[in-house]
Chains A and B, each alone.
Chain A
Amino acid sequence: MSELVVGNDDPSKRTPLVLGGHDFKSVSDIICRPVEAKAPQWWMIAFGVSVSGLCLLIAMLSKLVWSGIGVWGLNNPVMWGWDLVGFVFWVGIGHAGTLISAILFLFRQKWRTSINRFAEAMTIFAVMSAGIYIVFHVGRVWVAYYLFPIPNSMGIWPNFRSPLVWDVFAVSTYFTISLLFWFVGLIPDLATIRDRATTKTRKIWYGIFSVGWRGANRHWMNYERAYLILAALSTPLVLSVHSIVSFDFAVSQVPGWHTTIFPPYFVAGAIFSGFAMVVTLMVAARELFNMKDFMTMHHLETMNKIILATGTMVGYAYGMEFFMAWFSGNTFEQYAFINRAFGPYYWAYWTMVSCNVISPQLFWFKKIRRSIPMMFIISIFVNIGMWFERFVITVTSLHRDFLPSSWFYYSPTWVEVCQFIGSFGLFLTFFLLFLKFLPIIAISEVKGVMPAANPHQPGEEH
């Protein structure tokens, strides 16, 4: 392989996506190694911590079911607090995976191949964490099936004119399609592990889940078509999901929520937070699994550019919200925004602005874009900032509502805080299982973007 040319955008000699002079066999060897080797010590420790977090979540949910929703600090008029904040936070993180796997696929951004598997897994587990909030915030979780149009003895049906019902359909469709997309992408790689398997257990389990894949070209043809169609379906889907999440707010009459900027603003924020989470996890994983030849600095830098772009969009939306409040001449809308920045929750607002608007601007500097410690710190800041964004939107708009006598300063109870910590336990438990038992890079796709995969070698006619 020729020398690495950094940052060269001439399409005839692009930055190579796989470094280290690998051939097809060594690609399989390296990516399959974590699956085939014994779990490393750091993995066991991390898994132990994550499972403890998961247990904490289960304990908090049990308390919630046992005592009722009053264990949360919610009260009139703040009917939504950390539950909705946690839900939107996790669903937002879930958007990066589908963006990378679907939208970048349609745009033929080949650099996505070594990070899409990783990001899709993150999507699925983040949506699971979000789903926990949806299911349990209804309070009487044993009748959560009322969310779906299922015939029941009381003859009650969902109200299809409500955005909350749209949300149920959007999130469950998103989860299902993301899972299918992920599984379809995994099939050839599961077959690779099956064919390399040395133990009986591995042969049987990977054999079942690879559904008899054998790499036949007639199969590849239908497979590639299915993948393309799923990408084409997921692209509008990913945009619709966070738009519909924003309708939960925008369709209501609450000042600060009832704005048309919400759908694009939420989508940009979702992509922003999702990419930040991918960078956080990738910086760690490429180091721990020694996969720097596949998850190269070029990949990280490209992701940081997307964080910069979407962070700037989010900053624009924050400014535009204030402009529209002023321009509308509506005093209630104006009060909602002045109260947001200078009211009792000013600390949350300015944390959000510092983390989301100011910190990603550092990515204008190439040195910072390519510095592992800096990008790790900034991605953590963005994760924090995006949590605060949802907190600001949800709580500051509600806590001073139409009736000043009911104004209220909302603080979470320990149950809400522990439940949120526990949702990380759920996310990380599944993510660590993924790191150990599945190929974390799409093996067949990475091989496809290597120069050796092109049957039309230079000098040959096409």
Chain B
Amino acid sequence: MTTVKLYGLLAEYKDPSALIHAVEKLRDAGYKNFETYSPFPIHGMDSAMGIKDSVLGWIVVACGATGLASAIALQTWVSVSAYRVVTSGKLLFSFQAFVPVCFELMVLFAGFGAVFGMFALNGLPKLYHPLFKNHRFRTATSHGFFVTVESSDSRFSLEGTARFLQEIGGLSVEVVEE
């Protein structure tokens, strides 16, 4: 017999309101490694889960600053050193004329930072996840509201946690394997 590793428990809830109340109870009971799944972001869920604010903004600031610095460096080097051509009597270093490209490259780099930073923080792309094997979970992107509690949580016990998820309003509780 092959031993299958346990990922955790999956419970479905009726609607956003039921989900948020269940999560508050999970948090108060001391669970840490749990996650909710919903077809759209639910207002107030972050504080109900007790998770920290996203750090994405700092990544974007760093990328934007890199873009701005590269634009200044590129234009200055090209105009003053690599290809010295005087056009329409403008100075070689005409910083006023460099503003548009500085702005565009700053936005471009910051935009890459926002999208790929979000991917990195979320661990995407990830084409396999244990939950994808669960049939009921397919509604999570359409009309289902779910909670998972991972087996790695210190308070996790198969029977106790399953009972608790049901007590706080779970419509169904299922075991998810790795």
Contact = CB atoms under 8 A, between A and B. Distances in A.
Contacts of A215: 37-39, 140-141
A23 B145 CA distance: 14
B78 A149 contact: yes
B127 A226 contact: no
Given A192-B39, A223-B41, A217 B98 contact: no
Interface in A197-219: 207-208, 211-219
Interface in A146-178: 149, 155-163, 165-166, 169-170, 173, 176-177
B173 interface: no
B18 to A, nearest CB: 9
Nearest to A226: B118
Contacts of A453: 16, 40, 42
Interface of B is mostly: helix
A108 interface: no
A212 B129 contact: yes
Interface stretch (A35-43, A228-236, A273-281): A228-236
By CB atoms of chain B within 10 A, which of A169, A221, A236, A247 has the most?
A221
Contacts of A445: 40
A444 to B, nearest CB: 4
Contact of B44 (A156, A212, A216, A456): A456
A455 interface: yes
A357 interface: no
A263 B90 CA distance: 22
B43 A222 contact: no
B41 A160 contact: no
A181 B115 CA distance: 8
A208 B82 CA distance: 44
A23 B143 CA distance: 8
B47 to A, nearest CB: 11
Interface residues of B, number: 69
A444 B40 contact: yes
Contacts of B15: 452, 455
B67 to A, nearest CB: 10
A383 to B, nearest CB: 28
Contact of B111 (A156, A176, A225): A176
B124 interface: yes
Interface in B85-111: 85, 87-88, 90, 94, 97-98, 100-101, 103-105, 107-108, 110-111
Contacts of B100: 163, 166, 169-170, 240, 244, 247
A2 interface: no
B152 to A, nearest CB: 15
Given A160-B75, A196-B142, A221 B46 contact: yes
Contacts of A181: 111
Contacts of B129: 212, 214
B26 interface: no
Nearest to B45: A217
A237 interface: yes
A327 to B, nearest CB: 26
Contact of B56 (A170, A226, A240): A226
B125 interface: yes
Contacts of A407: none
